[in-house]
């Protein structure tokens, strides 16, 4: 059984785990609880009433966090022709064609996101065993297979991220850094909630959202009142 640290046990006594907190209160508590010497990541853990073993109950999509993720994203682009210069001009960190595919096959993985144009996907297929387990394989659903290289690079640099239902029916999404203003973190969380609702799978039946917890890298999970989140309207 995993042993909790003394620090963590002390923090757990400072809030009531049987209560449902407003997003703002939970964010305030997580900020207050943070005593580590690095900028923690805020994470949302969402349990949905979905069974991913059924094709019509799977959920995979993207969301652009309005206040960014707080993480510096290194983007690699595999393309060819004039798109090579387009990718460089748009701010891609690594750009290549067959040469980059060969480098990845030899172990080069110094990037956080890989974008590819559709005309390169047949060649990239051979990288599936390398990229797949790391969540780096380009996919149309994730917005990483596209001819719109400029906009794709810009969105991911600004805070676009992919989320996916895991095998237990839970989504784990980093939505910013704990150093962000509470309102900025809340706006990111709200954008995520609206995206999940918008992309509800066709096979979803009954209660869609079961629970939502917010936590920081080294902090506890705090249960959130879903009604207070859902009823808020931006603007």
Residue 89 lies in a domain: yes
CB contact set of 72 (below 8 Å; sequence gap of 6+): none
Containing structural domain, residue 62: 18-69+160-230
By CB atoms closer than 10 A (0-12, 13-18, 19+), residue 139 is middle
Residues 216-231: tens digit of each pLDDT: 998 889 999 999 888 7
Residue 1 lies in a domain: no
Residue 176 lies in a domain: yes
pTM of the model as a whole:
0.81
Does an H or E element contain 186, and which? helix 182-198
Residues 203-212: tens digit of each pLDDT: 999 999 999 9
Q: Are 118 and 111 in contact (CB under 8 A)?
A: no
* Rounded Cα distance, 8 and 13, in Å: 9
State residue 106 phi and psi, 5-degree precision: -90, 0
Q: Are 171 and 215 in contact (CB under 8 A)?
A: no
Instruction: Name which residue leads in pLDDT, 124 or 33.
Output: 124
What's residue 169's pLDDT?
93
- Show which of 126, 157, 188 is a domain's final residue: 157
Copy the structure tokens of residue 38: 């690095």
Assess whether 165 and 150 both reside in one domain: no
Residues 7-27: tens digit of each pLDDT: 666 676 667 778 899 999 999
Assess whether 127 and 146 both reside in one domain: yes
Does an H or E element contain 216, and which? strand 209-216
Assess whether 219 and 164 both reside in one domain: yes
- Show which of 96, 124, 157 is a domain's final residue: 157
Assess whether 85 and 201 both reside in one domain: no
Considering only CA atoms, which of 90, 59, 71, 66 is closest in space to residue 208? 59
């Amino acid at each position: 059984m995993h042993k909790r640290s003394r620090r963590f046990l002390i923090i757990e006594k400072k809030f009531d785990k049987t209560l449902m907190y407003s997003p703002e209160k939970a964010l305030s508590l997580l900020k207050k609880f943070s005593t580590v010497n690095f900028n923690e990541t805020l994470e949302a853990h969402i349990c949905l009433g979905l069974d991913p073993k059924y094709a019509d109950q799977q959920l995979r999509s993207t969301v652009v966090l309005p206040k960014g993720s707080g993480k510096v994203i290194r983007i690699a682009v595999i393309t060819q022709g004039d798109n090579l210069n387009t990718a460089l001009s748009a701010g891609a960190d690594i750009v290549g064609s067959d040469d980059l595919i060969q480098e990845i096959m030899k172990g080069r993985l110094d990037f956080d996101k890989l974008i590819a144009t559709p005309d390169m996907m047949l060649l990239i297929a051979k990288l599936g065993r390398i990229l797949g387990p790391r969540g780096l394989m380009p996919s149309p659903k994730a917005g990483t297979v596209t001819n719109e290289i400029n906009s794709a690079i810009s969105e991911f640099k600004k805070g676009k991220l992919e989320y996916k239902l895991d095998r237990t029916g839970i989504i784990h999404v980093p939505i910013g850094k704990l150093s962000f203003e509470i309102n900025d973190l809340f706006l990111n969380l709200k954008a995520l909630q609206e995206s999940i609702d918008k992309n509800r799978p066709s096979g979803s039946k009954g209660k869609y959202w079961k629970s939502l917890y917010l936590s920081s890298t080294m902090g506890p999970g705090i249960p959130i009142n879903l009604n207070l989140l859902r009823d808020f309207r931006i603007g």
